[in-house]
Amino acid sequence: MLNKVDLVSKNELRDLEKKVRQINPTAKIFHTSHAKIDLDQILNIGGFNLKNVLDEKTFIPHHHESEQGISSVSLNFPGFIDPNRLNHWLQMLFLTEGMNIFRGKGILNVKNSTNRYIFQSVYMMFEGRFDKLWENNTPENKLVFIGQNLDASRLEASLKTALA
């Protein structure tokens, strides 16, 4: 929701929308003045639905940083994840950097499972579950994090401790 749009020029609004799209290309953007909006447009919309974690375009490997230090980091790697190590890694990650990680999601190849494991996080809260079979898809690990001052190489190195 972009509020106070009545106080900025069309060019400023367009620039702001571009910045929002850099952070989240699929976000619904609502223009408001005085925060007037139909609450049905922003409440109970399933914006953090685990099914949305499977959006493949999110996982293109990259590291992007905006002028404000907000960045996104995508990691792809083969192999198996050990579920206990993954849980420990996620706990430590959110304990040490939780306020800097705004959003995370992933599809993981868990050792001794033929099903995909999907997870998502919002700040320091995370959830995960086993999903459908890999079927004809090549099992791999794909994760994306959006946050502030993220270090892609440090994230990748620390995540590899969760490999089986």
* Together in a domain, 19 and 83: no
* Number of structural domains found in the chain: 2
pLDDT at 109: 93
Q: Are 107 and 118 in contact (CB under 8 A)?
A: yes
User: Within this chain, do residues 37 and 99 fall inside the same structural domain, yes or no?
Assistant: no
Whether 7 has a pLDDT exceeding 50, the answer reads: yes
Element (H, E) at 17: helix 10-23
9 and 79, same domain (yes or no): no
Q: Are 70 and 98 a contacting pair, CB within 8 Å?
A: no
Q: Please state the rounded mean pLDDT for residues 104-123.
A: 89
- Mean per-residue pLDDT, 68-73: 78
Residue 62, pLDDT > 70, answer: no
Tokens representing 62 are 């990259």
The pLDDT of residue 115 is 94
Helix axes 83-97, 152-159, angle to 10 degrees: 150
Mean per-residue pLDDT, 74-86: 86
- Do residues 79 and 145 share a domain? yes
What pTM value is reported for the model?
A: 0.60
pLDDT reported for residue 50: 46
95 and 144 fall within a common domain: yes
How many Å apart are CA 160 and CA 15, to the nearest integer? 38
3-class secondary-structure state, position 151:
coil
Let me know whether 63 and 95 are in one domain: yes
Angle at 53 between CA 124 and CA 159, to 5 degrees: 55
User: CB-hemisphere CA count at 13 Å for 39?
Assistant: 2
In which band, very low, low, confident or very high, does the pLDDT at 31 lie, cut at 50, 70 and 90?
very high
Kindly tell me if the per-residue pLDDT of 60 is higher than 60.
no
Residue 145 sits in a domain whose CATH number is 3.30.1220.10
Question: Within its chain, how far is the Cα of 84 from the centroid?
Answer: 21
Instruction: Please name the amino acid found at residue 50.
Output: L
Average of pLDDT values for 70-88? 86
Asked if 88 and 120 sit in the same domain, the reply is: yes
Model confidence pLDDT, tens digit, residues 124-154: 778 888 999 998 888 989 989 888 888 888 8
- Is 77 within 8 Å of 139 (Cβ atoms)? no
Give the pLDDT of residue 53.
46
Residues 34, 86, single domain; the answer is: no
Mean pLDDT value across residues 50-60: 48
| Shared domain check, 129 and 61 | yes
Range of the domain at 12: 5-41
Q: Considering just the CA atoms, what is the radius of gyration of the chain in Å?
A: 18
Average pLDDT, the chain: 80
Whether residue 25 sits in one domain with residue 81: no
110 in the same domain as 87: yes
Amino acid at 140: E
Shared-domain flag, residues 64 and 29 = no
